[in-house]
Amino acid sequence: MNPAVPARIQRIVIVGGGSAGWMTAAALATGLRGKGIDIELVESEQVATVGVGEATFPSILNYNRMVGIDETEFLRATDGTFKLGIFFHDWRVKGEHYFHSFGDLGQLAGPHALWGQHRRLGLAGNLDHQSLPAVMAREGRFVVAEPPKPPYDYAYQFDAALYAAFLRRLAMQRGVRHTLGHIVDVQRRPDGGVAGLLLADGRQLTGDLFIDCSGFRSLLLGQTLAEPFLDYSHWLPVDAAWACPTERVGEALPPYTRATALEGGWAWRIPLRSRTGNGHVFSSRFIDVEKAREQLLQQLDGAPLAEPRLLRFTTGQRQRFWVGNVLAIGLSSGFLEPLESTSIYLIQCGISRLMVQLTEGGPLDDEAVARFNEGAATQFRRIRDFIILHYCTTARRDSALWRHVASMELPDTLAFKMEAWRRFGVVHQYDEEAFGTTSWLSVYSGMGCWPECADPVLDELPRQEAAQALEGRAQAIRRAVEPLPAHHRYLADRLR
């Protein structure tokens, strides 16, 4: 028997005070204001938050706008910097790099990706030269352009603990009740749904809807309701990370995250204003945990501010995210590994789907919840495929991890997409895609995957004109970037 979906919601209990919990609390307190719904967030002082989610995706701007956060105030409060994309080093082979930007490549990334065709015909150089944000990133420059909208988006890099604290203040100002307490028991309803939570000090919390933001523990959805976990570690074998902040070195602040492929995983470098976030995400199947720690320490370019911290996880997702009166948001619903900084984005998507349901959706019933689950689970799988693309296209064979990912069988959905690209130069898009054609093209191009066949129409294009158009675009981008301020100067001016 499936537990019943609540017909009417008057009391919402959020379990967990990490990024997921406080993002959910702030959004609900804003979106449900005046509806007479009581919101309470409970978190344990005995269970620390993960707190290393520091790099984000452009849609975070929409979340911040939705809850009414001023950008300058936010950057000041969270040690924030701007992010134009991710620099990938050593992924195809050692010594090569490419940039996945939040940019617009226009026609070059259109449905019949012209870039792939140009490249096949020997016309094109480096795709990064055709991308305004990639050139801005390379030159260390950044500006929030005035409208009309420039051909790039941007995201932020910030201290996740400071962001959660910032949202906590905001959510509490808007009426969210904050309870410190460790949940020791979950009481069930006769139909299997959750009736209440028992805290270690004997207090009881009841509610109509319980939002599980309890992190990897997945206290309600995973542990209590035993919703099956779909394990993706065959395709995404990383299962641990060492994280270590270091002192900021020098004045410059790269407006991007760096991801460097290593023997048994990859290392991140995320520049904040007062420090740098570093980590080594690795697969303990392919590299010894202590060796992974050493490799992280070798990557650091500043003095460590703390001992490296080890986090363990399994990549995958719950089969359903919403069951009866329990909905999981954040790590409790699944984790795909941080390569494309998509966890906070997925938190935001979960919140948006819930808000639509609570404010403008039809009746809250089994059908509505099934639709929620279908959309949310599909979106997870689309991102999974995009992350796998970064691995399976490698030409590296220098260690067991890279040999595994280069030869593993792919999910059918990804295999189909890659075949469409290889055979026809088409970047196929499914529903619920988080990453558009520009993103797919950036990775195909960076990893040296080119179509075998050109669009016949292209054969009609005068080659010289096409080559001149590309060179003209690259020159225009270089000229546009030259006068822009350095990222650190721009930030200093904004936050003065």
Ligand X SMILES: Cc1cc2nc3c(=O)[nH]c(=O)nc-3n(C[C@H](O)[C@H](O)[C@H](O)COP(=O)(O)OP(=O)(O)OC[C@H]3O[C@@H](n4cnc5c(N)ncnc54)[C@H](O)[C@@H]3O)c2cc1C
Residue 213 contacts ligand X per CB under 6 A: yes
Half-sphere exposure of residue 272, counting CA atoms within 13 Å on the CB side?
26
Give the one residue of 5, 13, 14, 17 binding ligand X; rule: CB under 6 A.
Answer: 17
> Mapping DSSP to helix (H, G, I), strand (E, B) and coil, where does residue 287 land?
coil
Give the one residue of 5, 13, 14, 19 binding ligand X; rule: CB under 6 A.
Answer: 19
Q: Which stretch binds ligand X (CB under 6 A): 109-117, 145-153, 330-338, 415-423?
A: 330-338
Minimum gap (Å) between residue 215 Cβ and ligand X: 2
Q: How many angstroms separate the CA atoms of 423 and 388, rounded?
A: 20
Q: Which stretch binds ligand X (CB under 6 A): 101-109, 203-211, 214-222, 450-458?
A: 214-222
Residue 124 contacts ligand X per CB under 6 A: no
Give the one residue of 12, 14, 20, 127 binding ligand X; rule: CB under 6 A.
Answer: 20
> Mapping DSSP to helix (H, G, I), strand (E, B) and coil, where does residue 15 land?
strand
Minimum gap (Å) between residue 492 Cβ and ligand X: 24
Number of residues that bind ligand X (CB under 6 A): 40
Q: How many angstroms separate the CA atoms of 83 and 277, rounded?
A: 14
Minimum gap (Å) between residue 214 Cβ and ligand X: 4
Minimum gap (Å) between residue 22 Cβ and ligand X: 8
CA 300 to chain centre: 23
Residue 160 contacts ligand X per CB under 6 A: yes
Residue 313 contacts ligand X per CB under 6 A: yes
Half-sphere exposure of residue 7, counting CA atoms within 13 Å on the CB side?
0
Residue 260 contacts ligand X per CB under 6 A: no
Residue 354 contacts ligand X per CB under 6 A: no
Residue 18 contacts ligand X per CB under 6 A: yes
Q: Which stretch binds ligand X (CB under 6 A): 9-17, 120-128, 259-267, 448-456?
A: 9-17
Residue 237 contacts ligand X per CB under 6 A: no
Residue 385 contacts ligand X per CB under 6 A: no
Contact 381, 434 (CB under 8 A): no
215 Cβ neighbours under 8 A, 6+ residues apart: 16, 18, 20, 47, 49, 50, 330, 331, 332
Q: How many angstroms separate the CA atoms of 425 and 32, rounded?
A: 46
H-helix segments, 393-455: 400-407, 412-424, 437-446
Q: How many angstroms separate the CA atoms of 183 and 176, rounded?
A: 19
Residue 209 contacts ligand X per CB under 6 A: no
Residue 241 contacts ligand X per CB under 6 A: yes
Buried/exposed 442-460: b ≥16 CB within 10 Å, e otherwise: bbbbbbebbbeebbeebee
Contact 195, 210 (CB under 8 A): no
Residue 309 contacts ligand X per CB under 6 A: no
212 Cβ neighbours under 8 A, 6+ residues apart: 15, 16, 218, 219, 220, 221, 326, 327, 328, 329, 332, 333
Which of 447, 448, 442, 416 is closest to 429 using CA atoms?
416
Return the structure tokens found at 178: 């904050």
Helix (H) or strand (E) holding 327: strand 326-328
Q: Which stretch binds ligand X (CB under 6 A): 54-62, 285-293, 356-364, 410-418?
A: 54-62
Give the one residue of 3, 40, 47, 420 binding ligand X; rule: CB under 6 A.
Answer: 47
Residue 340 contacts ligand X per CB under 6 A: no
Q: How many angstroms separate the CA atoms of 353 and 28, rounded?
A: 12
Contact 324, 190 (CB under 8 A): no
Minimum gap (Å) between residue 141 Cβ and ligand X: 23
Residue 326 contacts ligand X per CB under 6 A: no
Q: How many angstroms separate the CA atoms of 317 and 228, rounded?
A: 9
Give the one residue of 108, 123, 135, 219 binding ligand X; rule: CB under 6 A.
Answer: 219
Residue 56 contacts ligand X per CB under 6 A: yes
Which one, 157 or 394, has the nearer CB to ligand X?
Answer: 157
Give the one residue of 230, 311, 364, 458 binding ligand X; rule: CB under 6 A.
Answer: 311
Which one, 349 or 470, has the nearer CB to ligand X?
Answer: 349
Minimum gap (Å) between residue 351 Cβ and ligand X: 12
Minimum gap (Å) between residue 285 Cβ and ligand X: 17
Q: Which residues bind ligand X (CB under 6 A)?
A: 15-21, 42-44, 47, 49-56, 160, 182-183, 213-215, 217, 219, 241, 243, 279, 281, 311, 313, 330-332, 338, 341, 343-344
